[in-house]
Amino acid sequence: MKYDFIVIGGGSAGLVAAKFANGLGKKTAIVEKYKLGGDCTHFGCIPSKALLHYSVINPSSGIRAFEHVREMVERIYQTETPDVFRKEGIDVIEGAARFIDSQTIEVNNVSYTARRFLLAMGSSPVVPPISGLDSINYLTNESIFSIKELPLSVVVLGGGPIGIELASALNNLGVDVAVVEMSDNILPREDRELSRILQKKLESDGIKILTGTKVISAEQRDGFVALKTEGTVDTVKAVKILVAVGRRPNIDGMNLNSAGVGTDRNGVVVDKYLRTTAKNIYAAGDVVPPYQFTHVADYEAVTATRNALLPLKKAVNYADIGWCTYTSPELAGCGLTEEQAINKYGDNIHVYKFENTHLDRAITDCSTTGLAKYITDRKGKILGAHILGSRAGEVVHEVMVAKKFNIPFHKLANMVHIYPTYSYSVRQPAKYAAIDMLMNNVFVKFIRGLRK
């Protein structure tokens, strides 16, 4: 069977790419060995956010929360079934793909050829090399949503976004939760000041958090899992252990070498156009560094498909990518953290902060834990934005747009924001920035000098 474009992997990147290619009039196929929808639909964004929401509004629901999650996943999946795509004219090939050469793959002993390929196989949970862990029936973000009984206690290995979100949801449902993180603070890639405020909030909610802690062994004892940590004789115990230390790209078993596709420890090697070392094969999503976000997979899928099928190439640009961890409160960001900005620009930056204790909407919602932080250069160019607070994932987009289109931060003060909204956490700091720009204006300085 011959195609113009074959997408390997039916997750977020793969589905977007297949629809785009089909829309361009190309004969397109998707190869998927599990279910269309990938990690986002079945194990990631959809189930985790459904669980977080349900655990907040129904904290006493117990295992019913997980039944609700499965119902939501199935509801979303019904918009992504093979029949849906086949009706649009896209072939869906069910099975595992293996390359024969750069233009041929084999699935279930049947060969398929294409002029262009997109690798979009997604990622899988990383399981750390902890002594004894392989003999324990541990949970991951892929298996936890299938549980039929809510455990009394859970230890979460990893304080990144996945671990912290699931820890929050389980804690909301009344599970005794502990988080073990090797770094000095949870969410180590986030602004340190904000992640520490969030950590205190989670601890006040009842989650035990152990940072700077390395687990060296795991053992099943009397119905509990006992974790031994480095440098201490104490153990951390729970009924279940949830492994959430990161994800690795799914690049094994595909015979990529036969297609001339290079890989390294980060995944598939690509250039700025998302083309692999094989000129007719592109890649997108979690198999490509640096980000493993659904929205980045979408962006990469469109870019890679465009570059594969259209004459004008477009390079990827990750400078304006944003993200959000959906805890309560949310932690969202884009660009450089304060520490990163100082390391890069030294003293030539401004940092504008606004606490939720001064935000009227946060006060009326009894949700005053939070801090917004905006980093600019001396001319007002936005270097980074980091927001801890309710609806931070929505609020940050205003600053992302300004950053993307090179609008100075102080210009946002000219926008009339609706009151009372959480967007005032942008307006107020922007006003401070506008005052700074005014006071540093040469003409204003001259006038002030005359008045002295």
pLDDT per residue as tens digits for the range 308-326: 999 999 999 999 999 999 9
Question: For residue 234, what pLDDT is reported?
Answer: 76
Rounded Cα–Cα distance for residues 413 and 439 (Å): 15
CB of 105 within 8 A of CB of 112?
yes
Count of the separate structural domains present in the chain: 3
Pair 199, 281 in one domain? no
pLDDT in tens, 93-128: 999 999 999 999 999 999 999 999 999 999 999 999
Residue 54 located in a structural domain: no
Residue 63 located in a structural domain: no
Residue 449 confidence (pLDDT) above 70: no
Pair 149, 185 in one domain? yes
The values of phi and psi at residue 131, to 5°, are: -55, 125
Rounded Cα–Cα distance for residues 44 and 240 (Å): 20
Residue 62 annotated in ligand binding: no
R_g of the chain computed on alpha carbons: 24
Query: In this structure, which amino acid lies at residue 7?
Result: V
Residue 286 annotated in ligand binding: yes
Pair 347, 238 in one domain? no
Return the closest-CA partner of residue 304 out of 1, 7, 4. 7
Return the closest-CA partner of residue 378 out of 404, 403, 352, 350. 350
Q: Which of 246, 270, 297 is the last residue of a domain?
A: 246
Residue 162 annotated in ligand binding: yes
Residue 449 annotated in ligand binding: no
Pair 304, 272 in one domain? yes
Residue 53 located in a structural domain: no
The helix (H) or strand (E) run that includes residue 120 is: none
Return the closest-CA partner of residue 274 out of 259, 264, 260, 289. 289
Pair 20, 157 in one domain? no
Residue 320 located in a structural domain: no
pLDDT in tens, 46-79: 999 999 999 999 999 999 999 999 999 999 999 9
Q: Across-strand partners of 190? A: none
pLDDT in tens, 239-296: 999 999 999 999 999 999 999 999 999 999 999 999 999 999 999 999 999 999 999 9
Three-state secondary-structure class, residue 432: helix
Mean pLDDT of the chain: 95
Residue 158 annotated in ligand binding: yes
Q: What is each CA distance from 178 to 125, 193, 213, 245, in whole angstroms?
A: 19, 21, 12, 14
How many residues are there in the chain?
452
Pair 164, 213 in one domain? yes
Q: Per residue, what are the HEC states of 230-256?
A: CCCCCEEEECEEEECCCEEECCCCCCH
Residue 418 annotated in ligand binding: no
Return the closest-CA partner of residue 5 out of 66, 409, 16, 54. 16
CATH number at residue 396: 3.30.390.30
Structure-token pair, residue 418: 């609706």
Residue 433 located in a structural domain: yes
Return the exposure string of 188-219: e unless at least 16 CB atoms fall within 10 Å of the residue's CB, then b.
Answer: eebbebbbbbbbebbeeeebebbbebebeebb
Pair 365, 404 in one domain? yes
Residues in Cβ contact with 338 at an 8 Å cutoff, skipping those fewer than 6 apart: 191, 192, 193, 351, 373, 375, 384, 386
**DSSP symbols for 170-191:** HHHTT-EEEEE-SSSSSSTTS-
Residues in Cβ contact with 27 at an 8 Å cutoff, skipping those fewer than 6 apart: 2, 3, 4, 5
CATH number at residue 151: 3.50.50.60
Residue 49 annotated in ligand binding: yes
- Over residues 342-369, mean pLDDT: 97
Rounded Cα–Cα distance for residues 261 and 102 (Å): 8
Residue 246 annotated in ligand binding: yes
Q: What is each CA distance from 381 to 143, 237, 348, 353, 408, in whole angstroms?
A: 44, 49, 11, 16, 5
DSSP state of 145: G
Pair 134, 84 in one domain? no
Range of the domain at 375: 329-444
Question: For residue 444, what pLDDT is reported?
Answer: 53
Residue 90 annotated in ligand binding: no
- Over residues 349-364, mean pLDDT: 97
Question: For residue 439, what pLDDT is reported?
Answer: 80
Rounded Cα–Cα distance for residues 10 and 198 (Å): 35
pLDDT in tens, 177-234: 999 999 999 999 999 999 999 999 999 999 999 999 999 999 998 889 999 999 876 7
Residue 162 located in a structural domain: yes
Question: For residue 78, what pLDDT is reported?
Answer: 96
Residue 47 annotated in ligand binding: no
Return the closest-CA partner of residue 317 out of 338, 333, 296. 296
Pair 373, 231 in one domain? no
Question: For residue 231, what pLDDT is reported?
Answer: 82
Pair 113, 254 in one domain? yes
The helix (H) or strand (E) run that includes residue 398 is: helix 392-404
| Signed CA dihedral, 307, 312, 313, 317: sign only | negative
Pair 349, 440 in one domain? yes
Residue 56 located in a structural domain: no
Residue 70 located in a structural domain: no
Pair 193, 267 in one domain? no
